[in-house]
Amino acid sequence: MCIFVAFTFLGILFCGRGQSLECPFGCECFAITRSVKCVSADLPTLPQSIPGYARTIIVTGNNIQRIEADSFTQLDNVTNIILSNNRISEMASHSFSALINLRFLDLSGNQLALIHPQALSIPGSPLQELNLSCAVFNFSALTDLTTALRWGGLRGLLRLDLSGNNLALLPPGMFSHLPNLQQLFLRNNSLVMVYSGTFSGTNNLELLDLSNNAFRTFDADTLQELGKLGNIRILLGENPYTCSCEIRAFVIWLNESKADVDVESVRCTSPKKLTDAQLRGLGEDAIGCVAPVQGEVTDLTLQTSYVFLGLVLGFVGMVFLFVLYLNRKGMKKWIIEMRDACRDVLAGYHYRYEIDTDPRRTSGSISSDVCVIRKSLCRYMAYGPIIPMGIDILLICSGQ
Ligand SMILES: *[C@@H]1O[C@H](CO)[C@@H](O)[C@H](O)[C@H]1NC(C)=O
Ligand SMILES: *[C@@H]1O[C@H](CO)[C@@H](O)[C@H](O)[C@H]1NC(C)=O
Ligand SMILES: *[C@@H]1O[C@H](CO)[C@@H](O)[C@H](O)[C@H]1NC(C)=O
Ligand SMILES: *[C@@H]1O[C@H](CO)[C@@H](O)[C@H](O)[C@H]1NC(C)=O
Ligand SMILES: *[C@@H]1O[C@H](CO)[C@@H](O)[C@H](O)[C@H]1NC(C)=O
């Protein structure tokens, strides 16, 4: 009994000291501000035995590769955790689920390559702000993250920072399980377009930052997607806009949009004559969209199709001549047979010709032409080479 009491006492003493009074190695603990700081201490893992009073935990500039499922326990006072620049590459399932009051999580400046689908799950969805700026290692990690955002039950999330991640595309529906999201930062990525459906489900969005990406223009899909967001604040500055006719739809959108866009920073990067010109208010002629230009474009396509047609016809002609050449013996035989046949009928046609041209007949002119042509065909068959045949026909017909 005595021993048990002594152990209990010692246990309480130890726990009290460990959790409330002592500070983990490499860290500084501030009971008054209820914060713990472990800054650039080269820690290989997250510190254990963080005092229970802590509300804010700042662990930055260390060498922590992995956040384990049990990295944080018994810390239900914690509301803010800053884990930036720790080289974290892996987040296990339920990494933060013991932190039932966690509102602010900063994972910026890490190299998250493996994110468990339930890494961000916390009972009661307390998380309001998640900073993943410069934290997503590559495209596979983005896919992992998309799953984690979906499975994490982050219904309370208000702010999400995904800036500086080299993102080239966003999976459609990536944010659809964040129904209360208000601010989405996607600046300093490599986005060139936005698929339709990318922002579906984010019905409470108030701020969307797409500045400093790789947008040259916005296609109809993207504009439609942005239009669905209504009159929110959208930052679109510092993109390499190319002010050619293709940007027309975007200029019209800027002209008419209800959204609160940072139009002052939305400027052309090229062509040279429009460098730094503000996009909103640009006229159709300024971006080279006037009718003659479109005419030239159609002319060019027409010319191209004519050239193509010519090539095809030329090819067909060559094949035809080649076939003729291969059949030259048969042809010669056929011509000789025709010539003999023509010689036989020539006299008959001659006779009909004389009847047809008789001035007493008035309705025979067509058959007379036919006769002349056929007669001349026979004459050619009897004597002439190929080309004079046509000329012969013409001469005789026009001579009528
Ligand atoms: C949280 O803080 C309160 C008040 O300071 C304290 O009584 C409680 O023990 C703390 N919780 C933990 C898990 O230490
Ligand atoms: C996220 O973290 C980065 C780097 O620490 C910081 O610059 C940025 O302002 C943070 N984002 C938000 C929305 O506070
Ligand atoms: C992303 O990085 C991880 C870890 O280095 C690697 O296994 C994976 O193949 C990479 N994925 C892509 C798409 O590059
Ligand atoms: C933009 O992102 C890159 C990483 O992709 C980062 O190195 C750079 O500091 C960021 N620039 C700004 C202005 O945030
Ligand atoms: C945008 O608006 C300006 C005037 O507000 C107008 O002159 C211009 O033609 C419009 N641009 C387009 C592409 O319609």
pLDDT band, residue 364 (cuts 50/70/90): very low
With respect to residue 281, please indicate whether it lies within any of the assigned structural domains: yes
Ligand closest to 182 (CA) is 2
| 3-state secondary structure at position 261 | strand
Pocket test of ligand 2: the residue of 81, 88, 128, 163 to mutate, having most ligand atoms within 8 Å of its CB, is 163
With respect to residue 77, please indicate whether it lies within any of the assigned structural domains: yes
Q: Which of 9-18, 174-183, 322-331 has the lowest mean pLDDT?
A: 9-18
Q: What is the pLDDT of residue 392?
A: 42
Of 227, 257, 290, which one is at a domain's C-terminal end?
A: 290
> Are residue 211 and residue 309 in the same domain, yes or no?
no
> Are residue 282 and residue 361 in the same domain, yes or no?
no
Q: What is the pLDDT of residue 300?
A: 57
Q: What is the pLDDT of residue 22?
A: 82
> Are residue 100 and residue 244 in the same domain, yes or no?
yes
Q: How far is CA 317 from the centre of its chain?
A: 45
Q: Mean pLDDT across the stretch 226-239?
A: 94
> Are residue 212 and residue 311 in the same domain, yes or no?
no
> Are residue 258 and residue 304 in the same domain, yes or no?
no
Token pair for 300? 């060019």
With respect to residue 328, please indicate whether it lies within any of the assigned structural domains: yes
Of 239, 266, 290, which one is at a domain's C-terminal end?
A: 290
Cα separation of 217 and 128, whole Å?
A: 33
> Are residue 325 and residue 279 in the same domain, yes or no?
no
Task: Report which of residues 6 and 107 the model is more confident about.
Answer: 107
> Are residue 341 and residue 236 in the same domain, yes or no?
no
Peptide bond just before 388 cis, omega within 30 deg: no
Going by the DSSP 8-state scheme, the letter that residue 175 receives in this structure is T
Contact residues of ligand 2, CB 6 A cut-off: 84, 106, 108, 131, 133, 159, 161, 185
pLDDT above 50 for 15: no
DSSP calls for 6-58: HHHHHHHHHHIIIIII---TT-EEETTTTEEEEES---SSPPSS--TT-SEEE
With respect to residue 11, please indicate whether it lies within any of the assigned structural domains: no
With respect to residue 55, please indicate whether it lies within any of the assigned structural domains: yes
Q: Which of 15-24, 42-51, 225-234, 302-311 has the lowest mean pLDDT?
A: 15-24
HSE, side-chain direction, 13 A CA sphere, residue 270:
6
Of 243, 273, 290, which one is at a domain's C-terminal end?
A: 290
Q: What are the pLDDT digits (tens) for 87-138?
A: 999 999 999 999 999 999 999 999 999 999 999 999 999 999 999 999 999 9
| 3-state secondary structure at position 267 | strand
In the chain the first and final C-alpha atoms are separated, in Å, by 142
Q: What is the pLDDT of residue 375?
A: 52
Helix (H) or strand (E) holding 270: strand 268-270
Q: What are the pLDDT digits (tens) for 267-281?
A: 999 899 999 999 999
Q: What is the pLDDT of residue 16?
A: 40
**Domain containing residue 90: CATH number:** 3.80.10.10
pLDDT above 70 for 7: no
Q: What is the pLDDT of residue 36?
A: 96
Q: Whose CA is nearest to atom 6 of ligand 2?
A: 133
Q: Whose CA is nearest to atom 9 of ligand 5?
A: 283
With respect to residue 90, please indicate whether it lies within any of the assigned structural domains: yes
Rg of the Cα trace of the chain?
Answer: 42
Q: Whose CA is nearest to atom 5 of ligand 1?
A: 53
Q: What are the pLDDT digits (tens) for 173-191?
A: 999 999 999 999 999 999 9
With respect to residue 179, please indicate whether it lies within any of the assigned structural domains: yes
pLDDT above 50 for 241: yes
Nearest to 287 by CA among 278, 298, 296: 278
CA distances from 76 to 55, 122, 126 (A): 8, 12, 11
With respect to residue 8, please indicate whether it lies within any of the assigned structural domains: no
pLDDT above 60 for 288: yes
Ligand closest to 253 (CA) is 5
Phi and psi at residue 177, in whole multiples of 5°? -100, 20
139 Cα nearest atom in ligand 3: 13
Q: What is the pLDDT of residue 298?
A: 53
Nearest to 84 by CA among 109, 66, 62, 103: 109
> Are residue 58 and residue 111 in the same domain, yes or no?
yes
Q: Whose CA is nearest to atom 6 of ligand 4?
A: 164
> Are residue 164 and residue 305 in the same domain, yes or no?
no
> Are residue 269 and residue 207 in the same domain, yes or no?
yes
Pocket test of ligand 2: the residue of 86, 108, 112, 160 to mutate, having most ligand atoms within 8 Å of its CB, is 108
Task: Report which of residues 160 and 307 the model is more confident about.
Answer: 160
> Are residue 39 and residue 151 in the same domain, yes or no?
yes
Ligand closest to 32 (CA) is 1
Structural domains of the chain, count? 2
Instruction: List residues bridging with 241 in a β-sheet.
Output: 268
Q: What is the pLDDT of residue 97?
A: 92
> Are residue 269 and residue 353 in the same domain, yes or no?
no
Nearest to 209 by CA among 194, 219, 224: 194
- Structural domain span for residue 355: 294-399
